[in-house]
Amino acid sequence: MPYDSLRDWISALDRAGELKRIRAEVDPILEITEITDRVSKSTSTASGEGARATKSRPGGPALLFENVKGYRTPVLINQFGSARRMCMALGVESLDDVAERIRGFMDVKSPQGFLDKVKMLPMLAEMGKFFPRTVASGPCKEVVRRDRFSLLDMPVLKCWPKDAGRFITLPCVITRDPLSGKRNVGMYRMQVYDERTAGMHWQRQKVGAEHYREMLRRAAGGDQATADGRWAAVDSMARTSGGARLASGSQPKGKMEVAVAIGTEPALTFSAIVPAPPEVEEFIIAGFLRQKPVELVKCETVDLEVPATAEYILEGYVNLDELRTEGPFGDHTGFYSLEDEYPVFHVTCITHRKDPIYATTIVGKPPMEDAWMGKAVERIFLPMMKLTIPELVDINLPVEGIFHNLMIVSIRKSYPGQARKVMNAIWSLGQAMFTKVIVVVDEDVNVQDLREVALKALNHIDPERDIQFTLGPVDSLDHASRLPDYGSKIGIDATRKWASEGFARPWPDEIVMDGTTKMIVDKKWKELGIE
């Protein structure tokens, strides 16, 4: 059953024994981070309604801090911080259940005749119920503040000692494509500068940044070269003048409207991080995941629609001629991402529920809450990857690899050089283009077992023959790359080598005990008294 709001979700966590209420006073400056970091790297004991057996689970419980120093607003964190809670958030027993639903839709064949079209009607009707619908009003409008509002009224965390300030870390940032009119919901951290401005950390490859660039093109009369020149000029001026606007007559005029939802129901929050194609609205993805449409309401001061049941809505705009220094920020790599220049979000109105709840997260050295969210993305979007790369069997993005640093792939090998074809196909897929290291193994290797992967991959490679390097876009958070957003990547072909690949020697068999002996020892095991 879908959750209609963050509050429904919190109640479900409470009933399932997955929520810990903290009544002691805690400070949003560093203290909540330290507590949550310890919890997210521990195990929790399941109990209460819905937990038949008491057992430990990695990730610790979700935390609701009810007594935040200097604030009356409670803070929810670590809501997605375990495999069980990720499944609960999406209303499934296993993440593979979502993948199966996706696979079912992708298996639909083009109708060949009238009967086939009739058979498709129920599925088309089901798809229709995923689309968002606009309602007259909603709980997010219980309090409307067009003046006398402040971002500092929210208990925004300062996460790590060297952070540049407080950061909003779990926002659903809503923009509209100037060309198609389609909405996008992305998740980009926001450094709070003062009561009414914040940094908008959309990296250059993100959809929000592309909407911003398109607005620059429009300001340039559609001329690409002029728009690119203006972007470079804005960027250069910001870097040399500490974030001031351009003073020249060539500056791009105009504003881009933005809305930010904080404290949304879990399917929508998760949808904001999925690597969906730009033409597919995240509101539709959320509807698919929750099997119920997302309800939207119109903003007060900008022409955008926002989730009706969100705890907070921030309305505002970014200027096309303004960048400002943002960062450093303790990031999911386990290192601080360095300061850089990003657009500035100006708040024009804040609406919120009565007695709102502030939802947030922290990132840092794994494992943390984002690890479980990333694993969900991995499992759910495997069927989509198989559309483009049909020989894929399974993938693993190890948490310690920070997702974009390492991808282990098993394939059904059919022809020489196929592993290299797969590497290049992965580097062509959306956010997968940032993958720094790809290891390709045969289909009989369990990519989820890192010990097996290490044993077989390291045994199977001849480094000079089986490793290839390539240059291309890398994640903006990659502090080791030679240039910002541009660097090298490596692919490792750890499959068995064939004669058609120039390998003339015999390939040895793997050591495996025969089945009969294993059965005999299984029967004798108890009487051996070893355990």
Q: Which of 447, 351, 441, 445 is nearest to 397 (CA)?
A: 447
Q: Which of 468, 472, 474, 471 is nearest to 492 (CA)?
A: 468
Q: Which of 440, 507, 431, 443 is nearest to 467 (CA)?
A: 440
Residue with tokens 């990695």: 58
Residue with tokens 């196909």: 425
**Strand-by-strand arrangement of the 75-77 sheet:** 19-22, 62-65, 75-77, 358-359
Copy the structure tokens of residue 347.
Answer: 């708040």
Distance, CA of 350 to CA of 140 (rounded, Å): 10
Looking at the DSSP bridge assignments, the partners of residue 323 are 343
Distance, CA of 5 to CA of 286 (rounded, Å): 13
Distance, CA of 445 to CA of 393 (rounded, Å): 10
Where in 116-233 does DSSP place strands (E)?
Answer: 133-134, 143-145, 167-168, 171-176, 183-186, 190-191, 197-199
Do 223 and 230 contact (CB within 8 A), yes or no?
no
Residue 73 DSSP one-character state: S
Residue with tokens 């290192």: 335
DSSP 484-525: TTEEEEEEEE-SPPPGGGT--SPPPPPP---HHHHHHHHHHH
Which strand (E) or helix (H) includes residue 261? strand 255-262
Question: Residue 295 phi/psi, 5° resolution?
Answer: -90, 135
* Residue 331 is among the residues annotated as catalytic for this protein: yes
The answer for residues whose C-beta is within 8 angstroms of residue 295's C-beta and 6 or more apart is: 132, 133, 134, 135, 138, 307, 308, 309
Where in 100-216 does DSSP place strands (E)?
Answer: 133-134, 143-145, 167-168, 171-176, 183-186, 190-191, 197-199
**Catalytic pick among 153, 331, 370, 475:** 331
HEC profile of 455-477: HHHHHHCCHHHHEEEEEEECCCC
| Residues labelled catalytic | 331
